[in-house]
């Protein structure tokens, strides 16, 4: 695994100390020699369009009550995860160690490589593809990206829509990519737009 340091300040075996930890069983080891150089941004709300609550955390930990909402039947049995989730309030959750392979990208291809789960860090933003994200989310996202950049050899950032075109549309047009590009700490990252 390609780290900038073995244990940077604020990190413990791939877990960020400032995040709320909610370990997911949906992860696995990264392939030998995987160079973690990509951050993938996503958006999610459960049920779609509803914000707040614990449904996302429950989905990532395989404890979602499938009968709690009619929409949940369409995703029944799904086993997914992400490294991080940023709520509308800016609260930061972590589900999988960044040293491990979270199940967020699915069938994917980017920067000449397939299986983006192998060498990426997934960040979910609570939201919808066509909705705007909050100032609190942008503040947390900036802090998180800067923290990840100090710990891992990140070179690329992309949306789920960029690594799985035609299959995924998140985080969608509501994400202000120009704003992300202006963050000084990310100036060495390559963006898809």
pLDDT (tens digit per residue) in 80-106: 999 999 999 999 999 999 999 999 999
CA dihedral over 133, 57, 119, 18, signed as positive or negative: positive
Tokens of 110: 């980017």
User: How many residues make up the chain in this entry?
Assistant: 193
Q: By C-alpha distance, which of 159, 162, 185, 184 is closest to 171? A: 159
Phi, psi of 147 (to 5 degrees): -65, -45
pLDDT tens digits, one per residue of 138-185: 999 999 999 999 999 899 999 999 999 999 999 999 999 999 988 865
**What are the residue ranges spanned by the domains of the chain?**
11-186
Token pair 């009619």 is found at: 70
Q: At residue 121, does pLDDT exceed 50? A: yes
Look at the pTM and tell me if it is higher than 0.85: yes
Give the pLDDT confidence score for residue 3 in this predicted structure: 43
Which residue, 96, 86, 85, 80, is CA-closest to 15? 96
Active-site positions read: 124
Closest to 91 (Cα-Cα) out of 41, 137, 143, 36: 137
Instruction: Give yes or no for a contact between 159 and 41, defined as CB atoms under 8 angstroms apart.
Output: yes
pLDDT at residue 133, rounded to an integer: 98
pLDDT at 125: 98
Q: H or E element: which one contains 151?
A: helix 135-151
With a CB cutoff of 8 Å and minimum separation 6, the contacts of 66 are 72, 73, 76, 77
Cα–Cα distance for residue pair 143/183, rounded to 1 Å: 10
Q: Would you call the peptide bond into 171 cis, given omega within 30 degrees of 0 as the criterion?
A: yes
Alpha-carbon gap, residue 13 to 124, rounded angstroms: 21
CA distance 151 to 98: 10
Look at the domain 11-186 and name its fold: Lysozyme-like (3.40.80)
């Amino acid at each position: 695994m390609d780290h900038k340091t073995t244990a940077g300040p604020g990190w413990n075996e791939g877990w960020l100390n400032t995040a709320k930890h909610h370990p997911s069983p949906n992860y696995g080891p990264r392939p030998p020699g995987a160079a973690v150089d990509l951050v993938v941004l996503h958006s999610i709300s459960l049920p779609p369009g509803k914000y707040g609550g614990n449904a996302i955390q429950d989905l990532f930990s395989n404890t979602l009550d499938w009968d709690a909402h009619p929409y949940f039947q369409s995703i029944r049995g799904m086993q997914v995860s992400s490294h991080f989730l940023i709520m509308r309030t800016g609260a930061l959750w972590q589900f999988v160690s960044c040293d491990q392979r979270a199940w967020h990208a699915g069938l994917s291809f980017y920067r000449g490589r397939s299986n983006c789960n192998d060498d990426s860090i997934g960040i979910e933003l609570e939201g919808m593809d066509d909705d705007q994200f909050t100032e609190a989310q942008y503040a947390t996202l900036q802090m998180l990206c800067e923290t990840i950049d100090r710990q891992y050899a990140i070179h690329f950032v992309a949306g789920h829509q960029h690594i799985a075109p035609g299959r995924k549309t998140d985080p969608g047009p509501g994400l202000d990519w120009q704003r992300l590009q202006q963050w000084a700490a990310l100036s060495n990252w390559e963006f898809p737009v």
